[in-house]
Structure 1
Amino acid sequence: MDFGKYKSCIEACNVCATYCDACAVACLKEDNVKMMAECIRLDMQCAQICRLAASFMAQGSEYAREVCKICADICKKCGDECAKHDAEHCQECAKACYRCAEECAAMA
């Protein structure tokens, strides 16, 4: 299967999903979980859309561009939320989200 043109975007989506999963779990262990609620919510949504986008690109779906556009928007929003928090896991997640947002925006 030739999905070479999507390779870097698929990788960015998979990395982002992994960071978002890890960030959500780490946020649940923070002292003030209520303060982290929006971060956790966006981490979960971001991880899901990243996996969907990667799958659509791997399948060569005619909807891959539309999914990637939505993915870029959610990744940006998740990155912005994570960047507000000082926790290292949030800062690392924000970086992964911003990279994925750039890749998906370029793909879309």
Structure 2
Amino acid sequence: METRNNHALIQTLLDCALACEHCASSCLKEEDINMMINCIKLDRDCADICTQAARLLQRDSIIGHQYLLLCEEICRLCAAECSKHDHEHCRQCAAACEECADACHANHEPINQD
């Protein structure tokens, strides 16, 4: 397997994870926290999945680029949820998630189950 330079992709994944963590923390401070529950859950899942994707790419894992399929999916779900809310942290998170989803899409490989 050919080693790729994934530095920019890893940085995009980490930026997304940080935006999601910030959004989740900020959602917990909102007046009507019950309206933010799905946002918080997706933020946390997205942050975890993006961080794991970055780890896999950094160590040149044989499944790193396949894992980006899952990462793209959670980023799109998180962006859609954050877009429903009119908070600056949600807008920033949605933008980071959309950028990350596009980067994952451009770099993922199909999952092969032989």
1:9-20 pair list within 5 angstroms: 9-20=9-20
User: Match for residue 101 of structure 1?
Assistant: 101
User: Match for residue 26 of structure 2?
Assistant: 26
User: Match for residue 35 of structure 1?
Assistant: 35
Which secondary structure state, in structure 2, belongs to the residue aligned with residue 65 of structure 1?
A: helix
Cα RMSD for the two superposed structures? 1.0
Q: Distance in 2 between matches of 1:90 and 1:4?
A: 32
CA displacement 1:16-68 (0-9 Å, x = unmatched): 00000000000000011000000000000000000000000001111011211
- Percent of matched pairs sharing the same residue: 41
| Amino acid corresponding to residue 29 of structure 1 in structure 2 | K
Query: What is the number of residues matched between the two proteins?
Result: 106
5+ residue gaps, structure 2, are 109-114
Which secondary structure state, in structure 2, belongs to the residue aligned with residue 62 of structure 1?
A: coil
5+ residue gaps, structure 1, are none
| Amino acid corresponding to residue 54 of structure 1 in structure 2 | A
- Output the TM-score relative to the length of structure 2: 0.90
User: Match for residue 57 of structure 2?
Assistant: 57
Q: Distance in 1 between matches of 2:40 and 2:80?
A: 13
Tell me if structure 2 keeps the 8 A contact 1:72–1:102: yes
Q: What is the CA distance between 1:78 and its match in structure 2?
A: 0.2
